[in-house]
């Protein structure tokens, strides 16, 4: 009898635990799906997806000769490169290993700030909300917050500025803590990213095409909400790092860029605001020394600038485009 009671008790416990497990899974799944729906319905995501479906200009820009010149330069420098160019007037693209996975380094900070502002657009976050600096946020490398005292507080707007202009790793961690890493990765998927980071310590990866996609997102946000889009664009224009893509562009032409640097990884992604012919350029690299990569990116940038300059309307070219 006692044996039967024990068996009956174990059976009831098993049923109870199984039911509890299933209920927990159901609740977690429902919560996850609800969060995904909230992100899917963001004004920015809806507008961006609709805009991407629209047909680009019927005008074209010929990239054939430019592609051969760039490939020749890349072969001479060695290393591995991924390159993406998009002419923002026509939508025409030039791609070299554009879908190849590379370490993203700090280029990933662009879509993170874009996600933050997209949430603010729908009143999901307040950019004036203050976030308290915690020890777990502190990270070495670039930035100005790494030496600050625990307990210091900064608005999300300030953190966005530090993240882009100073490539501040600690500010990035604070924003990520606020918006949620999984939410951020889902946002990237909704934008149409081909490669999603694997998570901390597992692989912060990206392809050049996605880097260009995120910069285009900044321009699209500026259409949807000029103030928010311009804030991010201005932070990119105020970047403290100008030895790569900006080095290949004459003074007087604005370049809004975000670099990324790791050992043997030198990246840069930029919106070149050439009047009459703005374009996006993203260059990701690996297995190359920093000095060589910086020089290569600057030279490639110069080739691409000169090519686009040929397509600037003459009245604009003669009046506003500087010659170097």
CATH number at residue 85: 3.40.710.10
Concatenate the DSSP letters of all residues of 287-320 into one string.
SS-HHHHHHHHHHHHHHHHHHHHTTS-HHHHHHH
Residue 131 covered by a domain: yes
Residue 17 covered by a domain: no
Spatial CB neighbours of 311, under 8 Å, sequence gap ≥ 6:
61, 87, 89, 276, 277
Residue 19 covered by a domain: no
- Domain range for 140: 47-312
Handedness of CA 87, 91, 92, 93 (dihedral sign): positive
Residues of the chain with pLDDT under 70: 1-36, 53-58, 201-202, 317-324
Residue 1 covered by a domain: no
Q: What is the pLDDT of residue 313?
A: 87
Q: What is the pLDDT of residue 54?
A: 67
Beta strand pairing status for 279-286 and 80-87? Answer: antiparallel
From 50, 62, 54, select the one nearest 92 (Cα to Cα).
62
pLDDT, tens digit (0-9, with 9 covering 90-100), for 167-180? 999 999 999 999 99
Q: Would you say 297 and 266 are in contact if contact means Cβ atoms under 8 Å apart?
A: yes
Residue 282 covered by a domain: yes
Alpha-carbon distance of 206 to 305, in angstroms, equals: 24
Residue 175 covered by a domain: yes
User: What is the torsion angle, in degrees rounded to the nearest 10, for the CA atoms of residue 32, residue 33, residue 35 and residue 41?
Assistant: 160
Opening angle at CA 214, ends 46 and 101, nearest 5:
120
Q: What is the pLDDT of residue 16?
A: 66
Q: What is the pLDDT of residue 179?
A: 97
Q: Which pair of structure tokens corresponds to residue 174?
A: 């604070």
Residues β-bridged to residue 272: 255, 279
**Model pTM score:** 0.86
Give CA 43 to chain center in angstroms.
18
Residue 94 covered by a domain: yes
Residue 8 covered by a domain: no
Spatial CB neighbours of 169, under 8 Å, sequence gap ≥ 6:
106, 139, 140, 141, 142, 143, 146
Q: Which pair of structure tokens corresponds to residue 132?
A: 């308290």
Domain count, the chain: 1
Q: What is the pLDDT of residue 318?
A: 63
């Amino acid at each position: 009898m006692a044996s039967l009671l024990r068996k009956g008790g174990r059976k009831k416990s098993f049923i109870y635990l199984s039911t509890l497990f299933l209920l927990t899974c159901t609740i977690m799944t429902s919560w996850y799906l609800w969060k995904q729906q909230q992100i899917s319905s963001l004004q920015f995501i809806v507008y961006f997806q609709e805009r991407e479906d629209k047909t680009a200009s019927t005008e074209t820009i010929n990239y054939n000769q430019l592609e051969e010149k760039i490939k020749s330069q890349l072969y001479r420098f060695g290393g591995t490169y991924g390159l993406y160019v998009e002419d923002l007037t026509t939508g025409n693209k030039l791609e070299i290993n554009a879908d190849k996975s590379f370490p993203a380094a700090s280029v990933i900070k662009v879509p993170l700030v874009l996600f933050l502002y997209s949430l603010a657009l729908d009143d999901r976050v307040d950019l004036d909300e203050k976030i308290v600096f915690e020890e777990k946020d502190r990270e070495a490398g670039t930035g100005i917050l790494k030496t600050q005292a625990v307990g210091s507080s900064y608005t999300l707007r300030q953190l966005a500025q530090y993240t882009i202009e100073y490539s501040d790793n600690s500010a990035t961690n604070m924003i990520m803590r606020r918006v949620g890493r999984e939410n951020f990765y889902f946002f990237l998927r909704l934008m149409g990213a081909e490669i999603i980071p694997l998570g901390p310590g597992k692989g912060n990866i990206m392809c050049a095409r996605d880097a260009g996609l995120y910069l285009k997102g900044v321009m699209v946000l500026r259409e949807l909400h000029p103030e928010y889009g311009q804030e991010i664009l201005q932070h990119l224009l105020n970047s403290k790092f100008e030895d790569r893509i900006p080095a290949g562009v004459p003074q007087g032409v604005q370049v809004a860029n975000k670099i990324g640097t790791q050992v043997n990884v030198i990246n840069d992604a930029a919106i070149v605001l050439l009047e009459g012919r703005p374009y996006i350029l993203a260059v990701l690299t690996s297995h190359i020394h920093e000095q060589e990569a910086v020089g290569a990116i600057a030279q490639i940038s110069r080739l691409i600038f000169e090519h686009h300059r040929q397509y600037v309307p003459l009245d604009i070219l003669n009046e506003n485009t500087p010659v170097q």
